[in-house]
């Protein structure tokens, strides 16, 4: 009987921790957004947004870079988030070369988000 009385508060405590953690979610979010929404496929000549969000703080400076898979040449931009939880957008044209690309967002030289996309042949 004592065992059951000790187990119940522990279970309630663990459930409360799990609910709190899931409610907070991830602090940072980054993705590429085309005309319709988040996307993993673009073509040479497309324009799209690099979206970055800090869900916990305002005015966070960040750096975003992409590079083609298995290549070392990067293209980078710097930005700053606005108010907490608001999307910051950097508009750019799709790369001029076909291939799979990785986008990485970093804050204070620490990677906080990444996204991949395939850049296909344009018109």
pLDDT tens readout for residues 15-52:
444 443 334 479 999 999 998 888 999 999 899 999 99
Give CA–CA dist 89/48, Å, rounded: 9
Q: How many whole angstroms separate alpha carbon 61 and alpha carbon 46?
A: 26
State which CATH number among 1.10.10.10, 3.90.1200.10, 2.60.40.2550, 2.60.40.10 fits the domain covering 26-120: 2.60.40.2550
Name the token pair of 39: 């996307």
Q: Would the pTM count as exceeding 0.85? A: no
Domain boundaries, the chain: 26-120
Q: Strands 47-54 and 88-93: what pairing?
A: antiparallel
DSSP state of 59: S
pLDDT in tens, 74-99: 999 999 999 999 999 999 999 999 99
Residue 106 burial (10 A CB sphere; 0-12, 13-18, 19+): middle
């Amino acid at each position: 009987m004592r065992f059951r009385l000790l187990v119940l508060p522990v279970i309630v405590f663990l459930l409360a921790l799990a609910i709190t953690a899931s409610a907070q979610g991830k602090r940072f979010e980054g993705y590429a957004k085309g005309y319709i929404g988040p996307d993993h496929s673009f073509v040479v000549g497309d324009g799209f947004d690099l979206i970055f969000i800090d869900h916990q703080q305002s005015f966070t400076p960040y750096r975003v870079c992409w590079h083609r898979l298995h290549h070392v040449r990067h293209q980078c931009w710097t930005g700053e988030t606005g108010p907490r939880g608001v999307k910051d957008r950097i508009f750019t044209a799709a790369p001029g070369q076909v291939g799979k690309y990785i986008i990485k967002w970093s804050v204070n030289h620490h990677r906080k988000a990444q996204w991949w996309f395939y850049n296909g042949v344009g018109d």
